[in-house]
Amino acid sequence: MAGRRRKKMKLLSETIRDNRRVLKVQRDEQLTQSQLPTELLEGILSQLSLRDNIRASAVCREWLAVAVSVRMANKPPWLMFFPKFGDLYEFYDPSQRKTYWLELPELDGSRICYAKDGWLLLYNPRTQSVFFCCPYTRELISLPSLELMYQIVAFSAAPTSPSCILFTVKHVSPTVVAVSTCRPGETEWTTVNYQNRLPFVSSIWNKLVYCQGLFYCLSLTGWLGVYDPEKSTWAVHSVPPPKCPENFFVKNWWKGKFMAEHNGDIFVIYTCSAINPVIYKLDQANKVWEEMQTLGGMALFANFLSSHARTDLLGTMRNNVYFSKVRFYGKRCVSYSLDNGRYYPRKQRYDWGEQDPFESVWIEPPEDLTTFL
């Protein structure tokens, strides 16, 4: 009797194991049938942002392998320093905290005006010559001469692009400005006077960005001028200047501001040595500046002449503002963390208005390091 019961239990156990094997095979077959082709999965995951790519990689092992294979992390810009003497230029990589050097005698006597897409725009005050330079390839592109006194200059794209146009504006009177434009290959600048509805004064402390086909210029007092190169129109928009805390109104408060653009959005950073930076984003529909408490994972690289924005950065660089100042013998770039509400390194609040606006600029990183000393 006991032997018959043991035999029945053994048969029951074997039946259960067989059923489990069948169920597992069926599940594996269903999973295989539901899996996307690798090529299609690569195409989908390659379109995701870095954050969404990382989230998708947690689905399964196959998705993890594909997500890692197509994951693209952005690189931060490098900080280029202009020497007061000599031809040796310093380049600082904030992600690796390393410094590189490059001899550029062709830039002797020139000052930086703007940087974009890996190109520098420079001006020689002695000869009034304006030219482009790619420091990594040493390529130079000359432009017609122009006297630049107290106005700033920006360009829309790399000079090798057919869409490249240069723009500068200076006031003739509080209600009249002269806008000058030029394209690479042209023999002279085109200058047109425009009437303003609101007062607009030009200065080297104004800020310029090119965003979605328009040049935006933020004046000393916070008024926003907009130039459309396609339509050749200029207007000072009735956007109230960004509201600053009361204790911002100290010496040089109007100098310590920066402006950047990213994906159609325009950001302004106001700084003061006494308190933490305040960041605004332009609400173009309602024509108001909105204060931001977070950058949503983006990083801003602030500079007097041209500031940059980056997304999809690896590590802890996200949600930070990086300033064009390096401390501790080149070991640390001064930054402000919106997550922690403090400067790094500690006690690094600066009166940015006291800095030389022509001593440094953020520039795209090189593709390789073979050109450096």
Mean per-residue pLDDT for 17-34?
A: 51
Is a pLDDT exceeding 90 seen at residue 239? no
Mean per-residue pLDDT for 124-134?
A: 95
Pairing of strands 332-337, 119-124: unpaired
| Longest CA–CA separation in the chain, Å | 114
Q: What is the predicted pLDDT for the residue at 350?
A: 62
Specify whether the CB–CB gap between 260 and 267 falls below 8 A: yes
3-state secondary structure of 53: helix
* pLDDT more than 90, % of the chain: 49
Q: What is the predicted pLDDT for the residue at 237?
A: 87
Q: What is the predicted pLDDT for the residue at 134?
A: 97
Q: What is the predicted pLDDT for the residue at 29?
A: 45
Mean per-residue pLDDT for 187-191?
A: 96
Angle between helices 61-70 and 38-45 (to 10 degrees): 60
- Which two tokens mark 98? 């390393």
Per-residue pLDDT of 30-88, as tens digits, reads: 444 456 777 677 667 666 666 677 777 777 877 777 776 555 567 899 999 999 889 99
Give residue for tokens 């974009």. 116
* pLDDT more than 70, % of the chain: 79
Whole-angstrom Cα distance, residue 69 to residue 74?
15
Q: What is the predicted pLDDT for the residue at 10?
A: 58
| 28 vs 310, higher pLDDT | 310
Is a pLDDT exceeding 70 seen at residue 186? yes
| 327 vs 178, higher pLDDT | 178
Q: What is the predicted pLDDT for the residue at 6?
A: 61
Is a pLDDT exceeding 90 seen at residue 261? yes
Q: What is the predicted pLDDT for the residue at 329?
A: 64
Q: What is the mean pLDDT of the chain?
A: 83
Q: What is the predicted pLDDT for the residue at 31?
A: 46
Instruction: Pinpoint the alpha helices (H) of the chain.
Output: 2-34, 38-45, 50-56, 61-70
Per-residue pLDDT of 344-373, as tens digits, reads: 887 666 666 667 788 999 999 998 888 887
Give residue for tokens 């200058």. 191
Mean per-residue pLDDT for 284-307?
A: 91
Report the number of secondary-structure helices (H) and strands (E) in the chain. 4, 25
